[in-house]
Every structure is written in structure tokens, then in C-alpha cells.
């Protein structure tokens, strides 16, 4: 929400140059992609999967847990970097009239703030993932080992 508020403030202050339009486009596409990925790849067992055999269900569940972990460890950081790049493209053009020292200070502070917010959010999600899904993944593995 904070990032979207900043984008709205930037849109009100900016002229529509190539940097601004490109920055807004990159930023919005990456944020929307993150939202779609978080909703679509969320761990859920479908009704079809509930009718599978126990071993097949265990395999599907393990696959989905690993896919969700991959999303948090690789895809989200990638899209966060892309969103930050878009944000920075917008900011470069908006701050053109300010002194170089002010530009560097504001630019660094905003980039660091966004990066810290992302890292805090990511660490909370990873801790929640470890608490909820890693024990389940361990139980699935031990179940599969006992079944073989």
C-alpha cells in the first residue's frame, strides 16, 4: 500500500516522459505479477487431488510445498528488484531539478526503505512457511520412506 501511495504521488508530480512511463509500467507490471503469483501459487489441495491415492497425494503436496518455497526464495526477490528498478526510473526523472546531493540522499533513502520493507516482509513469510510447511514436508518424506 505504501508503494502504491508513492506511485500516486509521483504520478501527480511528473511529466509523462519515457523514463516515467517506462518506470510506471515496469513497477505496476511487477507488483501485479507478484500479487497474481501469491494468489495463484498459494498452497491448496483441490477436490481432484483429494481423490488421489495417499502416495500420489503425498507427492502432489510435497511438490506444491517445494513450489511455494521456490516462489519465496527466487521469484519474489526477482520481481522486487524489477519493481525497485521501475520505481527508480520514475524517481530519476522527477528529481531532475533538485541538487545532486539531495537527489542521491532521497534516492538512496527511498530505495533502502523499499528494500528493507521487502526483506522484512519476505523474512516474515519465510518464517511462517518454515513453521507451517516444513514439518509437513518432513512428515510426507518419512511417510513415503515407510511406504517403500
Mean pLDDT of 94-101: 79
Query: What is the pTM for the complete model shown?
Result: 0.64
Which among 85, 80, 97 is positioned nearest to 23, based on CA atoms? 85
Q: Tens digits of per-residue pLDDT, 4-48?
A: 666 666 666 666 777 778 888 888 888 888 888 777 767 677 778
What proportion of the chain, given as a percentage, has pLDDT over 90?
A: 0
Domain ranges of the chain: 2-147
Amino acid at each position: 500500500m505504501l508503494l502504491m501511495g508513492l506511485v500516486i504521488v509521483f504520478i501527480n508530480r511528473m511529466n509523462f516522459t519515457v523514463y516515467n512511463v517506462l518506470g510506471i509500467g515496469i513497477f505496476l507490471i511487477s507488483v501485479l505479477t507478484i500479487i497474481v503469483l501469491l494468489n495463484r501459487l498459494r498452497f491448496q489441495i483441490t477436490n481432484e487431488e483429494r481423490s488421489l491415492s495417499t502416495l500420489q497425494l503425498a507427492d502432489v503436496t510435497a511438490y506444491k510445498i517445494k513450489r511455494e518455497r521456490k516462489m519465496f526464495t527466487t521469484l519474489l526477490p526477482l520481481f522486487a528488484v524489477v519493481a525497485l528498478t521501475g520505481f527508480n526510473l520514475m524517481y530519476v526523472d522527477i528529481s531532475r531539478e533538485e541538487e545532486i546531493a539531495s537527489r542521491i540522499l532521497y534516492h538512496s533513502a527511498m530505495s533502502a526503505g523499499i528494500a528493507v520493507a521487502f526483506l522484512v516482509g519476505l523474512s516474515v513469510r519465510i518464517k511462517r512457511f518454515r513453521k507451517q510447511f516444513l514439518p509437513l514436508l518432513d512428515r510426507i518424506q518419512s511417510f513415503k520412506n515407510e511406504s517403500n
